[in-house]
């Protein structure tokens, strides 16, 4: 009888493993870094950098996969990031900027000098929207799908390698 019980050990081991595998099915391994992943982009109401009269809100980000880039004139790495963002825009990806803790004048100057890959820029001088997004600093980038849900979060400078290996596959995935 004892021997028979020993023969049950592999079965028990497997059953325990399957319980974990079953749990694993409902967990998302990619949900690692941002609490905002798979959540709606936070609601906001702000004017655009380009035109103080134009008010925009969440609906701006719906209907199309969009990369939302948080930048500022005061941020040196944002300048290094611009060629990659221009490259992404050239590939037909829609980009929306958040000009974060900046003055209108400096922000527009920045775009003049380094190019403007953004369809439109949300003006966020007090950093309120940035706070809602849990932004630590600039640059940071969020991928928002057509339903306005955050699907990917990139902290820091997007390298040309990131464009190829991370951003484009992510954009494709949600397109």
Partner 1 sequence: MLIQMIPEIGHFALILALLMALVQALMPLAGAATRRPLWMAYARPMAAGQFGFVLLAFLCLSASYLLDDFSVANVANNSNSLLPWYYKVSAVWGNHEGSMLLWILMLAGWSFAVACFSRDLPEAMLARVLGIMGLISIGFLAFILITSNPFERLLPNVPGDGADLNPLLQDFGLIIHPPTLYMGYVGFSVVFAFAIAALLGGRLDAAWTRWARPWTNIAWAFLTVGIALGSWWAYYELGWGGWWFWDPVENASLLPWLAGTALIHSLAVTEKRGAFKSWTVLLAISTFSLSLLGTFLVRSGVLTSVHAFANDPSRGFFILMLLGVTVGLSLLVFALRAPRVSHAVGFNWLSRDALLLINNILLIIMTVTVLLGTVYPLLLDALGMGKISVGPPYFNALFVPLTVVLCLFMGLGPVSRWKRMATGELWRRLALAGLAALVIGILAPLLYGGEWNLWVSLGLVSALWLVLPILRDLYDKSRKTGLRRLSLAYWGMVLGHLGVAVTIVGVAVVSNYSVERNVRLAPGDSVQVAGYEFAMTDLQARRGPNFLADTATFEVRREGATRSFTMAPEKRLYLARGMPMTQVALRPGLFRDLYVAMGEDLEDGSWAIRIQYKPFVRWLWLGGLLMAAGGVLAVADRRYRRRRATAPAGKEALA
Q: Give the footprint of partner 1 on this chain (CB under 8 A).
A: 3-4, 7-8, 10-11, 14-15, 17-18, 20-27, 29-32, 83, 91-92, 160-161, 164, 168-169, 172-173
> How many other CB atoms sit within 10 Å of the CB of residue 144?
24
Closer residue to partner 1 (CB): 16 or 43: 16
Residue closer to partner 1 (CB basis): 6 or 105: 6
Minimum distance from residue 79 beta carbon to partner 1 (Å): 14
- Nearest to partner 1 of 22, 76 (CB atom): 22
User: Taking the chain, what is the end-to-end CA distance rounded to the nearest angstrom?
Assistant: 60
Tell the burial category of 20 from Cβ atoms under 10 Å away from its Cβ (0-12, 13-18, 19+). Answer: exposed
86 within 8 A of 117, measured Cβ to Cβ: yes
Tell me if 81 sits within 8 A of 107, measured CB to CB: no
Q: How far is the CB of 60 from partner 1 (least distance, A)?
A: 24
Closer by beta carbon to partner 1, 8 or else 112? 8
Provide the minimum distance between the beta carbon of 73 and partner 1 in the complex, in angstroms, as a whole number. 23
From the CB of 61, what's the least distance to partner 1, in Å?
Answer: 22
Query: How many of the other CB atoms lie within 10 Å of CB of 114?
Result: 18
């Amino acid at each position: 009888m004892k021997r028979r019980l020993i023969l049950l050990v592999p079965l028990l081991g497997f059953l325990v493993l399957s319980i974990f595998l079953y749990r694993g099915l409902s967990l998302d391994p990619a949900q690692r870094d941002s609490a905002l992943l798979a959540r709606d982009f936070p609601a906001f109401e702000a004017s655009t950098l380009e035109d103080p009269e134009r008010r925009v809100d969440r609906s701006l980000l719906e209907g199309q996969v969009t990369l939302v880039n948080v930048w500022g004139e005061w941020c040196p790495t944002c300048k290094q990031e611009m060629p990659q963002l221009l490259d992404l825009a050239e590939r037909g990806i829609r980009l929306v900027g958040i000009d974060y803790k900046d003055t209108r004048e400096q922000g527009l100057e920045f775009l003049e000098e380094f190019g403007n890959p953004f369809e439109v820029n949300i003006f966020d001088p007090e950093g309120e929207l940035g706070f809602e997004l849990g932004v630590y600093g600039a640059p940071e980038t969020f991928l928002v799908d057509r339903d306005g849900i955050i699907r990917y979060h990139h902290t820091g400078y997007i390298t040309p390698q990131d464009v190829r290996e991370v951003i484009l596959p992510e954009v494709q995935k949600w397109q």
